[in-house]
Structure 1
Amino acid sequence: MTTPRPDSQEPAPAPAHPQVPPNHQAQYLPVPPTGAASYALGFLAFIGIPFLSILVAGIVMAAMYPSARRKGGLAAENARRAANWGITGALIATVTLVTHFVLLYTMTGTPLADGFYPLGIPITIFGATFVVHLVVIICGLVKANRRELFRNPLAIPFVRSTQPTPNAA
């Protein structure tokens, strides 16, 4: 029997997967923000406190705009549109609440106060606004996550854009 000599070694088998040299590591590229968080905060309207919750959601949606504006691009525009919808929803909620109490005060003790309507008209409008708010924030989230702008024709443009509007889908 012969013993193998140290200078006569067999070559090592080739690795099954080629290895990346240490200087060619994969780099992390951050995804640019889309402004979806501004729409997602609209779900605060569903915390269960009538009238107050949609006011809080609208205020928070509008408060997100300045931080998203610093990010620029798609995030700023989607956040601006979400802020406009948040302010619109909060305004509708405030108007319907005030209208309801005015009607309640003026119609109490009259034959008009016997049924749900006309006293219930502001409550019905508020309920419809609540449903529309849910649809708007879901559509805004979907569009923002697809990296698109969401056009909401129902929102009053309280916050104006200072930059030219990019092409919207």
Structure 2
Amino acid sequence: MTTGSFYESLPPQNSTPPAAAPGSYSPPPAAPATGALPYGLGFLAYIPLPYLSLIIAGIVMASVYPSQKRKGGLAAENARQAANWGLSLIVYMVLDFTFFIILLVTRPEENTGFFPVGIPVLLVLAIGLAHLIVSIMGLVAANKHTVLRNRIAIPFIR
């Protein structure tokens, strides 16, 4: 059921602890997994390595999915959405780098200005900003026990 909202709730997970014997201590129950880990690991994109850091972040976000999938429920869905964004990020960066190489090789010798070769550089900045926004929104959604439906991510994993 899609309402068009970025945040969509999953049914609440039953996490009631078993009843403890009277007078005995039982530790508080562990919080259910929310799937915030892949979005948090997305901040690896801000390692100061141009191009490469965003690709590393995408790889890490996608590689965390199998372990989060085993936790089920909200964690699995958030990890799937984060993996889709991570894989999309890799595709966007590879396309941008290819575009940069094509513009660099085909530019005329007398052109010494920033443009048109600078267009892929500006695209990397835009992709980095989009990644920052998606990572923050994903963390906020996971901590609210909802799922971020990212509209600019390619749905590789369904």
Deviation at 1:22, TM superposition (A): 6.5
Distance 1:78 1:71 in 2: 11
The AA in structure 2 aligned to 1:157 is: P
Q: For residue 45 of structure 2, what is the aligned residue in structure 1?
A: 45
Please, what is the CA RMSD of the aligned residues?
1.4
Query: Matches of 1:76 and 1:130 in 2, distance apart?
Result: 25
Read off the aligned partner of 1:69 and give its amino acid letter. Answer: K
Q: 1:120 aligns with which of 115, 118, 121?
A: 118
- 2:94 aligned partner: 94
Which sections of structure 2, spanning at least 5 residues, go unmatched? 1-20
Alignment of 1:54 with 2:54, yes or no, is yes
1:23 positional shift:
3.8
1:138 offset after TM fit, Å?
0.4
Distance 2:47 2:58 in 1: 13
Structure 2 CA distance for aligned equivalents of residues 114 and 45 of structure 1: 30
Q: How far 1:25 sits from its partner (Å)?
A: 2.1
Q: TM-score, normalising length from structure 2?
A: 0.83
The whole-number CA distance in structure 2 between the counterparts of 1:70 and 1:108 is: 54
Distance 2:121 2:27 in 1: 54
* Correspondence 1:103 to 2:111: no
TM-score (norm 1): 0.77
SS of alignment partner, residue 149 of structure 1: strand
1:1-169 paired onto structure 2 within 5 Å? 23-109=23-109, 111=110, 113-160=111-158
Identity of aligned residues (%): 48
Matched residue count: 138
- What is the DSSP-based 3-state SS (H/G/I as helix, E as strand, rest coil) of the residue aligned with 1:24? coil
What CA distance in whole angstroms lies between the structure 1 residues aligned with 2:156 and 2:146?
A: 21
Instruction: State the one-letter code of the partner of 1:122.
Output: P
Distance in 2 between residues matched to 1:45 and 1:108, nearest whole Å: 33
Q: Which amino acid aligns with 2:154?
A: I
Answer with 1 or 2: which has the greater Rg. Answer: 1
Higher RCO (CA-CA < 8 Å; seq separation 6+): 2
CA distance in 1, matches of 2:56, 2:146: 26
1:108 to partner: Cα distance: 4.3
Q: Any unmatched runs of 5+ in structure 1?
A: 1-20, 161-169
User: Which letter maps to 2:141?
Assistant: K
